[in-house]
Structure 1
Amino acid sequence: MNLFVDCPWRLVVSDLDGTLVTGTTALDHLGAWIGHRAIIEGLEDRFTRGEVSDREVAEGYAPFYEGVALADAVDVMSRIPRLDDIGPAVAMLRQRSVDAFIATVSWSFAAQALADAWGFSQVCGADLELDQASGLFTGRVARHFEPEDKVAFVADHCRRIGIGMKQVVAIGDGRSDLPLFRAVGFSVALNASRAARAAASTAVEGTSFLAALQAVPHLLE
């Protein structure tokens, strides 16, 4: 018997960098491993100031991945700093028949590596081209991903399974989350920027993903 059929929410969509991942970003973490951290940090600073777009950032990063093995990059992602209790919190959502996605403008492979570890069912993000035969990245972007694409990805999923965007909860920390915050039924700004806190339904600080979920009315009741 499902004891949680009255839950009004059907999907929780969480950002990656600055939200699930703490104290760094997937790109910075991978950049330190590959050996181009200074360039990554410079691009990210310019992006934060609004001087470059997500597309320009991805094009700037991609060449440094040429010849890098996907399997090795996935292993590096397993050691990235993150919030506490993500896996158990996602399991609680599943018990309540609430799905959980990761939506990021960063590399989709990085999000997928963590989704597999934590139990998120789907991810979206920018795709880095992979040579399937060798398992090595080519150093080219296969698909760019903008903040508005998060909304399109979630909306398409909602249409396919017959739920409304107002049954979706979004959790994020920065300006790439604002379009999704505006489109869903409830939003949580987690350890967020001033703009994200102002746009969100509520704001939470701390190291617990479960605490962010508990801030959503009726989600875990």
Structure 2
Amino acid sequence: MFSSDHVGAVFFDVDGTLVPGTSSSVFLAGFLGHRDELAEAEAAYACGALDNRQVSELDAAGWAGTPEERVNGWLDGLPLVTGIAETVAWCRRNELLPVLATLAWSPVGGHLADRFGFHAFCGPRLETADGRFTGRVARHFDEHDKRDFARAQARESGLSLRSCAAVGDSRSDLPLFASVGLSVAFNGSAGARAAATATVDDDDLRSVLPVLGRLVTAARR
């Protein structure tokens, strides 16, 4: 549960935000053998031709038979923007709780939370049996669920979402952008830029810190 000492929270997206130029699912699909098919499906989602459920089911099928234990080793090589650890540390020093709000599969969120110290994470779950993925989705999770997760996390702390921020880049961030007090389109799509409070283009996540500082300033007035 959140500490009452926090003045706000910052919800960070993963795919296209912390993972630049691609998604964690496409990266993992490179090991699983369906990278090109998934990349096409994700592009169709981005333009509204497919929904999240369709993309998740297509991706999940490619996981069938893969041992759960193999994934963390693959994720050690996940391409990431620089400055994640420093940004998380800055948030904590400034009483902003860093949280992952993502549509990435739960093994990805768990890996990044453990690696960088994010407080919590969300996301869809893959079904497993006897230590292997079955090729089916155990829990679907879309952009509206992402917003609702953030709302629930804020409520636990006694915070309003209006005292929180979101950092993201694309369609899946729009409902959350509309709900928080401060939103940052980090290397964002045209839609994310239009919806965001601020836009930042860089390969270092620390570039969002001057914008996030507005939350701290507002809370301490």
Q: TM-score, normalised by structure 2?
A: 0.91
Structure 2 matches for 1:17-166, cutoff 5 A? Answer: 17-131=15-129, 134-166=130-162
After superposition, the CA RMSD in angstroms is 1.6
**Per-residue deviation, 1:71:** 2.2
1:189 aligns with 2:185: yes
1:101-130 alpha-carbon deviations (Å, 9 max, x no partner): 111122121121112111111111111112
Q: Which stretch shows the higher mean deviation, 9-18 or 183-192?
A: 9-18
Q: What secondary structure, in the 3-state scheme, does the structure 1 residue paired with 2:43 have?
A: helix
Distance, in Å, in 2 between the alignment partners of 1:49 and 1:154 is 24
Distance, in Å, in 2 between the alignment partners of 1:44 and 1:191 is 17
Distance, in Å, in 2 between the alignment partners of 1:39 and 1:137 is 19
Q: What secondary structure, in the 3-state scheme, does the structure 1 residue paired with 2:167 have?
A: strand
Q: Is the contact between residue 104 and residue 111 of structure 1 (CA under 8 Å) also seen in structure 2?
A: yes
Letter matched to residue 155 of structure 1: R
Letter matched to residue 38 of structure 1: D
Q: Relative to structure 1, is the Cα distance of residues 126 and 138 closer, same or farther in structure 2, using a 3 angstrom cutoff? A: same
Distance, in Å, in 1 between the alignment partners of 2:188 and 2:76 is 23
**Per-residue deviation, 1:147:** 0.5
More strand by share: 1
Residue matched to 2:11: 13
Displaced runs of 4 or more, over 4 A = none
Letter matched to residue 88 of structure 2: V
Residue matched to 1:212: 208
**Per-residue deviation, 1:57:** 0.4
Q: TM-score, normalised by structure 1?
A: 0.91
Distance, in Å, in 1 between the alignment partners of 2:61 and 2:161 is 37
Gaps of 5+ in 2: none
Q: What secondary structure, in the 3-state scheme, does the structure 1 residue paired with 2:103 have?
A: strand
1:11-63 alpha-carbon deviations (Å, 9 max, x no partner): 00011111000122111100001111121122112212211100010011111
Letter matched to residue 49 of structure 2: E
Q: Which stretch shows the higher mean deviation, 52-61 or 210-219?
A: 210-219
Residue matched to 2:198: 202
1:155-204 alpha-carbon deviations (Å, 9 max, x no partner): 11222221111111000000110000000010000000111111100000
Question: 1:170 pairs with 160, 166, 169, which one?
Answer: 166
Distance, in Å, in 1 between the alignment partners of 2:128 and 2:108 is 13
Letter matched to residue 204 of structure 1: V
Q: Is the contact between residue 166 and residue 184 of structure 1 (CA under 8 Å) also seen in structure 2?
A: yes
Q: Is the contact between residue 164 and residue 215 of structure 2 (CA under 8 Å) also seen in structure 1?
A: no
Q: Is the contact between residue 30 and residue 76 of structure 1 (CA under 8 Å) also seen in structure 2?
A: yes
Report sequence identity in percent: 37
